[in-house]
Amino acid sequence: MSEFKRITPEQALALRADGAVVVDIRDPQAFAAGHIAGATHLDNHSVADFIRSADLDAPTLVVCYHGNSSQSAAAYLVGQGFSNVYSIDGGFELWRSTYPAETAQGSAE
């Protein structure tokens, strides 16, 4: 895969169930207030460590607020060598309204 793909929350749910990595690029306060269960918070301070320790071939789902900023972040990850990157259309807001039981609260670890 030479570029990321845009997917629906339904497709993201299926990939997540198969073990895809979920990264959330929203600000720390928004992430703490609610995020996709199992997601990793990713920002300018944590991205280098994430890339160093990541499986570049693992499916990686990128989520933001509404599905716009995640596209740039997904493209960045592709540029860093990730081969299987997806941006979730509608972002966390659509995910939360579609799958409220698949959300969690709390800050990044």
Which strand (E) or helix (H) includes residue 29? helix 28-33
Point out which residues pair with 22 in neighbouring strands: 61
Consecutive H or E run containing 14 = helix 9-17
Query: Mean of the per-residue pLDDT values for the chain?
Result: 95
Single pTM value for the model: 0.95
pLDDT band at 108 (very low <50, low <70, confident <90, very high): low
pLDDT tens for 43-85 read 999 999 999 999 999 999 999 999 999 999 999 999 999 999 9
First to last CA, the chain: 30
CA–CA dist 75, 28 (Å, integer): 21
d(CA 31, CA 37): 11
Q: Do residues 70 and 23 lie in contact, with contact meaning Cβ atoms separated by under 8 Å? A: no
Q: Which of 64, 73, 77, 88 is catalytic?
A: 64
72 is a catalytic site residue: no
